Amino acid sequence: MTMKNLISSMLILIMIVIFQLAGACSSGGTKTDKEVQKAFDLRMKGQVDEAKALLESILAKDSTIAMAHYEMARLKNYMLVGGGNVKIDDILFSANKALTCDPKNVVYSYYLANAKFLNAFMAMQMQKNDVREYIKETCTQFEEVLAQKPDYYGAMLYLVEIYGMLPAEMGGDSLKAAAYAEKLIKMNIYFGAKAKAALAPENTDFIKFWKDLLEKDQNNQELMAEVGKAYLYKDDLTNAEKYFNEAMKADPSKNILILDLARYHIYTVMQNRDSAAAELPIAKTYIDKYLKSTPEPIIPMKSYATGLLALCEKFLGNQTESDKRVEEAKAIDPYFSRASGVPNMLLFAPPGMICHYYLSFFRPF
């Protein structure tokens, strides 16, 4: 299965691509409001409606609380992917309000850029005529992030990919992409390598590319994961799992990589439904393994994985079992993600925390 087919399969199932995890979090120094933190905690427990009601009450008393608007934007983002009655404009409204109330907060600035990119990507999928304008707004916002924090690696990597992988008529600019990549390469080894890989020709030997880097830093779990993903694109599941296991051994919190193995088999079926009987039992095994892994998955991820099991059963023709799994997922979190892509980890970082989360909108893993 080629990378092109994988991407095509992913887009068939999801109109909304959600950001995969890449990078780490660090404290942003913003004082967390206790009530907003409580709303965040409720959402993380699967009590999304209760969290929304609390945020609404906070903002009804004082509409200038930036963190409340920020958390409301993230909650709406989560609801959108979970089948809630929310539109992308609702997310952008709250994200803009957060930044208006606290214009120097880079956390809010980065989230707004991500939200604008989601809006632009949706415009691409709907083949709107003004995609270029959406992309321009997105890039401007990511550049605002860098103006506030020049070493915000995630923001710079987005610009590398957007400028480097989109055609000129949609806002692409190869010279800008190369310039940002050059800066990033000098700033951070891992993100710099991601930038270089994003601009590399499709026939590049990415297994060798990432292995060469790993030889220089043999304990780097991020590089281990990238080697595994490179093998995954080459349909070498044995080596993909081997390097994923090494990454998880070095950092158990990377157990989310197990879901990449499950999704590989799901995407294979999306490309060829006749392969369901062979592929989906394997996918289900990996999903079960993830649900039993340590550290224990957070509630939003547990409900999402259960939803993936429902998807597998649906593709297998087991509608009754699929419905049962859907109800299980709803019991954990009524707004569990209905997408095949792993949920946006940016939504799960505590309020006030700077996170270098990054998703390639053009690659499924």
**Any residues with CB less than 8 A from the CB of 73 and at least 6 apart, and which?**
91, 92, 93, 94, 95, 97, 98, 111, 115
Q: Which of 184 and 24 is assigned the larger pLDDT?
A: 184
pLDDT in tens, 219-269: 999 999 999 999 999 999 999 999 999 999 999 999 999 999 999 999 999
pLDDT given for residue 2 in this prediction: 55
pLDDT given for residue 89 in this prediction: 97
> Quick check: 255 and 287 in contact, CB under 8 A?
no
pLDDT given for residue 119 in this prediction: 95
pLDDT given for residue 364 in this prediction: 87
The rounded distance, in Å, linking the Cα atoms of 16 and 18 is 6
Kindly report the pTM of this predicted structure. 0.90
Integer angstrom CA distances of residue 62 from 56, 66, 169: 10, 10, 43
> Quick check: 352 and 107 in contact, CB under 8 A?
yes
Greatest Cα-to-Cα distance within the chain, rounded to the nearest angstrom? 57
CATH architecture of 3-201+211-355: Alpha Horseshoe (1.25)
The rounded distance, in Å, linking the Cα atoms of 13 and 10 is 6
pLDDT in tens, 198-225: 999 999 999 999 999 999 999 999 999 9
Instruction: Report whether the peptide linkage leading into residue 252 is cis, meaning its omega lies within 30 degrees of zero.
Output: no
The rounded distance, in Å, linking the Cα atoms of 197 and 223 is 12
pLDDT at 15 over 70: no
pLDDT given for residue 20 in this prediction: 34
Residue 365 in 3-state DSSP?
coil
Number of Cβ within a 10 Å radius of residue 338? 17
pLDDT in tens, 78-112: 999 999 999 999 999 999 999 999 999 999 999 99
pLDDT given for residue 5 in this prediction: 53
pLDDT in tens, 277-290: 999 999 999 999 99
pLDDT at 14 over 90: no
pLDDT at 7 over 50: no
CA dihedral of residues 25, 27, 28, 32 (deg, nearest 10): 120
Comparing CA positions, the residue from 45, 21, 24, 23 lying closest to residue 258 is 21
- The region of weakest confidence among 1-5, 300-304, 355-359 is 1-5
> Quick check: 70 and 95 in contact, CB under 8 A?
yes
pLDDT given for residue 1 in this prediction: 55
pLDDT at 26 over 80: no
Distance of CA 55 to the CA centre of its chain: 24
| Structure tokens given for 59 | 């903002």
pLDDT given for residue 128 in this prediction: 85
CA quadruple 187, 189, 194, 196: dihedral positive or negative?
Answer: positive
pLDDT in tens, 125-179: 888 888 999 999 999 999 999 999 999 999 999 999 999 999 999 999 999 999 9
pLDDT given for residue 362 in this prediction: 80
Q: Where are the domains of the chain?
A: 3-201+211-355
Over range 30-44, report the average pLDDT. 86
